[in-house]
Every structure is written in structure tokens, then in C-alpha cells.
Structure 1
Amino acid sequence: MNVGGPEENRAATSTRWAPTPAERARTSELVDDYLEQQVIIAQAKARQAWILAEGRAIAEAQTRRGGTGSEFEHPLRSMAAEFAVAGRTSDRTIRARMEWAVDLIDGFPATFALFEEGRISEPHVRAILDAGSRLEDDDSRAEFERIILPRAEKLTAGQLGSVARKLADDIEPLPLEERHEEAMADRSLRAAPLPDGMGELTYIGPAVTVYAMHDRATQMARTIHRTKDETDERTLDQIRADVFAEIALAGLPTAELIDQHGGDALTKITATVQVTVPWQTLTGVGDESAFLAGYGPIPADAARRLAGEAAKWTRLFQDPDTGCLKTVDTYTPTKAQRRFLVARDEHCRFPGCRQPAIRCEDDHTIPYSEGGVTDVRNLANLCRAHHVLKHNSNWDFRHGPGGVMEVISPTGRAYKHKPTPVVRFEASAEIARADFGSDPPPF
């Protein structure tokens, strides 16, 4: 069943439209044109990176020639100002882009080559560098690029970042726990001004804490949004911000909010995060990193602490050859299906969406009203927005083996969408095969 209500009820109130053949053909032409411009933009961005890197090289030569090296780096500052004034931007921004361009061209040449060809976008390149920059030697980076670049041409930048972080974690010899301890030194809380009397509060801390804070505020906001009266016109995002401010200032939502929206229901809401932990890590036999849905790898020690406090566990059985989820062990059939889907999908199955599965709805790929069965081979997680879109448009979804979904747009374009755990497994398996010289041993 769907969390938001029976599918047949949605079908009865559907506002689905039917594009005309001419509209469908023109839309397809526009998509083709958009993709062509995307290539041109990527090529232009790559050329800009090359220009900035060369400008930086000239500044470095001036520094060496003049013997003017100092903490002020006058030639580099002057060069950055040259570009900044001409381009009507700040020299600090140009200096950062220069550093990024040099890191890209010198450290990730294969990535830059694809960027120059327009085959990957700047957000994809940034996802690769953000994850791979900690790899210090050329061989490790080359191995990282060999595995990640074919996936960069198939995944969104958000999906790629998650996979790239896990892959770099597999390659990087420095344990994640040590890197996490170093990163913890940079935790902070900052305030910055925004226009029109607004401000911005930025918290940097452990990923599990960040995601748990956001989830708890979201749950509270949903409770208020669901029960608010007609005079309250706030959106879910606005309510979430208000709730977060109340918690930070008062420790709990104000009495007015509590009284108006269900007694002490809000104060009893606890955060929910989805963490996948290998059994070797859980038992202390190994120290492989765990995986936080929507983020990426987290240290083994943090995962063990979370597991020790968890009210509910789900064991997942994974095919060691394909990475596909085989089954979960639990009790009642309905809960088993839901827990299986959350574990298999991790996120909304609409391409590019990163909404965690724990906040998604169960969708019958073939609607129940049309004879679709309530089976994991006919169920998938869709966030509320994409669930509504599916039932009110000509987007089509088809199940394939191993949880792979074929998503077909109204113009007839087909996209293969693999579950996030499978994509992550495939990248990690390439590292294992390189280490063992063949397929990794079964777990």
C-alpha cells in the first residue's frame, strides 16, 4: 500500500495530460538541443580552467624570477586581480578557481580530458575532485579515475559524489577513523549576514549528527504541517526552519506549538537515519566503513556506537557477485517488504533524486488497480513529488532484474537506474578484483 493513500484513489483524481505528437516531437528536439548546449558549456568551463591554470603558472614563474616569494604572493595576487577585474568578480574567487584548475589538470588528467570533451559537467568534476583529492600518489588517483569516470557519464553529480566518496575510501590507505578525527577539529558553527534582514547559520559536524538534526526537525515540521489550520500558510521548509530555531533557542518547540499540534507529540519525536554496516565491522572483526544513506562513508567506530543504541536492526543478505540485495530477515510480510525496499533502494528511484527511502512512499510500478501485485519486484520507493508525477504524467517505469529500473520519459527516452547500493558495490568490487587479481572471495 502507498503511504499517501491507495493508488486507485489517485487514479480517480488524476490530472494526467496527453501530449500531442507535435508536442512530443518538439520536446524531444528541445532536449537534444539542451544536451548539445550542455556539452558546449562543459567545454567552455574546461577551457576557462585551462586559462586560469596557465595564468597561475605565469605568476609562479614571475615569483621565481623576481625572488619575491612571501606569504603575500604578490605576483599571484596581481594575476588573480587581472582576471577578476576584467570578469567583474572577486580576486579571492579567481584564486580559488586557479587552485582548483591546477589540482584538476595536474592531479586528475583523465577527468580533465573528459571535461574538455564535454562528456561530464563541472558539478561532476567537482564531485570527483572533492572525493579523490585526498589520494596522494599518482597510482591511487589513476585507479580512482579508471573506475569512477565510466560512472560519471551515467550518474548525476549527487549520485556520483556518494559513489566517489566510497571508492576513495576503499583506495585510501589512511583509515577513515583517522581522517574523521582530523576533520572533527574543523567542526564549527558560523553566522553570516544575508540581504533583507536575513542571516545564515552554518553548522559543520559529524555527518550522522547533521542528518539526524535535519531528520528530527523534518519530522516535527511534518507533524505541524499536517495538522495546521487554514490560517497557517507556511510551507514545510518554513515550518522546519521555525522549529529548528525554537529548539536552538528554547531547547524544545514553544508551548504554543506543542499545545496546538498534538500535546507533547513533537517532543517525543526522535531522529531516524539509515546506516548500512558490514557484519565484520559490527562485530569488530573488521573496520570497513559503514554507509549513511544520503551522505556516504562514516567511520566504523561511529557505526558501532549507533548500532549499540539502535532500537531496530535489519539484516541484509547481499549477492557477493552482483551487489544486489537478496533478502532481509524480519517477521510480518508487510514490514518485510517495506524494510527490503528501504534497504534495496536507499533513495527515491526517480533518476537524480536523493530523497532517502525512509521518507519516500511505496509505489506499485504496475498500479494495483490495474492488476499489479504487491511484491518487491513490482514495488519501488518514490518521494512524494515524483510519486505524484508518475501517476499524473506519461513517465513510465519498468522493473528489471536485480532491482534495476527502466525509466521512460514522455518523449520515449529510456534511462536505466540501478539501486545506489549496487552502483556502490560495483565500484568497490573493481578495487577488490585489483587487489585479489580476480573476483573477491564471497562473504
Structure 2
Amino acid sequence: MSTTEPLTAAAVAAIRREVQVTLDRPSVLDDAERVDLIRALEELVCTTTAAQAALAADLAESVEADHKALGVPAARRGQGVGSMIALARRESPHRGQRHLGLARVVSSELPHTWAAWRAGRVTEWRATLMARETACLSLEDRLAVDELLAADPDAFEAMSDREVVSRAQAAAARLDAEAVTARRRKAESERCVSIRPAPDTMVWLSALLPVAAGVAAFAALTREADTARAQGDPRTKGQVMADELVDRLLGAEASEGAEPEGPADPTGRPTRRRSVDLSLVMSHDALLGTSDEEARLAGFGPIPAELAREIVADALRRGEEVWLRRLYASPTTGELVSMDSRARLFRSTLARFIRLRDQVCRTPWCNAPIRHLDHVRSRGSGGLTSGANGQGLCEACNYAKEAPRWRTRPGPDGTVTTTTPTGHSLTTRPPPVATIRRRDAPALTIDYVLAG
């Protein structure tokens, strides 16, 4: 491709095909050449991500200009751009919006970092660190930190990520201590707890806390574990800390002077707990042990049938309330079938059904928890409040589809097709909940309360 020709998707695809063809051929390189090629490809990756950032910033400017021409209020101009970028990059809307913010900041406010990124000297993550650690500063101070750290591309490339963060934080504190303090206080106000799936049917339960509170909580769990181990507890230190955390949150320990309620669990701890609702979706065959089809735990995802049966059995053994509700799945796809309602809003059983059917946000690559129950075809366009015309979306995806020139339509087979302002379309369908072997085989929701 001539250097005077504009970069196009077709030209990039041609380069990718050349690399693929090379990978299919026997390597004739020596080890030194292999290392050199690895470095060259790494630099190409860095430059490619910089090109994505430049295109993202250009796309945002174009969409905002279009929204202005359409008379969209200034506060809403550019809505949906992050989701368009996310779909192109095959990632969540949250990551797409972060990528867009990074592209705009680095290209316009961190010129030395931008030059190093474009040249393949640093990664997208290095550029992200620079943008993150200078976010609280004025443009003048941000430019000063960029000059200090990245003006020498060789030195900037040689730094570790940790060194970049440390030096940027020190420079920011020196230039504007008040802004750094305000940023810390804002961060403390954003403390939160999150959960995400981990391998082997586990979860990571994470807490973002102010440093003093976080260190104190960890020290308390450590002290409890050290005491238990000193008294001969056979569990590892990590196991004791994890169990103690759950016990304190769910109230599993009997109060001082009170008798524990119910039988003890395998570690000998009491089972007295606060009320918590959990939902399992599984076929009746899996529940009865005649099938090993996987079940789904609301808020987590698929779990082995054996674990689902164990959860139900433990709940019954402890005298907890267990409720069964029948949901019918498609005999061909395993998806939960639709339900109709004449209500204006998705309420009660219908809302619960859509959440159980879609499990997470329906947008491809999003996987965020469902926050909004959305009419695929709007009520104003004649859309019904029904399972077929309903979908579970996260907040960001629901707002994105309301931007100008976005279109969504439901399909007769339970699919939803979303078309972006650029004409790109994606079709999704609810994930299957079970492998249905008989046409009349129902799926079950099993709700139980960990009752105190």
C-alpha cells in the first residue's frame, strides 16, 4: 500500500492475511530473529491500538456533529458512540466508553505520551496510566507531567508501569496538592462491593475501600485466622479468613451467649443466617438426579448439576424455605419461552421471567448485570409489553439504543436485531437454560431463603 493512500479496513485486512500466511509457513528464522520479530509485532500492536484511538476520537466528533445538526441537546450529543466502539472492538460498552475517553485525552492533552504510543514505544495500558494519574490536574499541569515523564521516549519506554504511576503521582502532588486531595475524597465516596465469576465455580467478591478501612478489615480477618490456627483449627489461614468474612456478613455466628440455631456445617460452624434470596434455574431431571444438565445460579451463571443439587439439599437440611416455580423451555433451543402481559411496565412474574431468561445484558460482549427491562420495539411504535418484545439490558446499553439513528426489532424466533447508526447489525438471542430431551420437559426455578 502506498504511503499516500488512506488507511482502510480492506488494507488492514490485507496486512492481517499476510501475517496469517506467514504463520502457516515453516519458520526459517534463528532465535535472535524470532526475538526481533516478536518485538516488531509488539510495536505494531501498540501502533494499531493508537490508530484505533485516533479513529474513535474522529468517530465521536462526527457523531456529535450529526447530533448537533439534528437538534439533539448538548448534554446528549455523542450518546451511543462508546457502544458503537465497543461492538467494533468486541468488548463491553463500559470498556468502549473508557477507550473513547482515553483516545480524546491522550491525543489532545498528553502530546508526548501520544507520540510514544503512535510510534509503538508504549502500550495502550501505559497511555491509560498516564491519563488516569493526571486526571485531577489542570491542562497546564497535565502537560507538565507529560513533559517530565514522556518527553524522552527512550526513558519513557524503559520505565516499568509501577515507576510511571509512582512518578506521575509524585509530580501531581507537587503541582496541585489540593486537586490530589479532592480526588482522594471523591474516590472514597465511590467505595463499593462487586462480584464476578472465577474458575471452578467460584466467585471473586471484591470491595473497593478507603485505605485505612481496607487495611483494618484485612488485619481483623488475619488476626481471626491466626487465633483459629493457634487453637488447632485444621483449615488453612486463607480458608479461615474467607469463612470468617462470610460468617460476619451473613450472621452465621450465634450472638454471644445464645445457642446456635440449626445443625452445624461440615466445619463445625453454626448455620444461623440472615434472610437471603437465591434463585436456581435447572431442569427437573437435573434436580431429581436423572440428568447432569448444568443449572444456572442467578447473579453468577452456569454451575454443575451436582453443585445445584447440593445447594438445594443443604437448604432443605437446614430447614430453609424452598419454593419451586415451573418455567417452560423451547424443545428445540432450550431457551425459556415467552410470556404475555397487558401491563405498561414489566412487573412481577414477567420481569422475573425476562431476568431469568436473558441472565445478563443482551448486548454482545457486555455481560453486565441487567438493570433495565426494555421494550425492543417501543410502546410508541406499537410494541407490546411481552416476553417476546422485552429484553434485559444494563443501564449504559439501554441509554445507547435511545440515541438517534439506533434501531432495534424483535424477531419471531426470540431474537433481537440491533442496527447502529453506521448500518452495522447484530442479532442476539437468549442463552439456553437447559438441554431439553422431551417436548414436555419443564425447567424449574428454585428459590430458597437462608432463614434466620
Give TM class, smaller chain.
0.3 to 0.5
TM-score, length of structure 1 as denominator length? 0.42
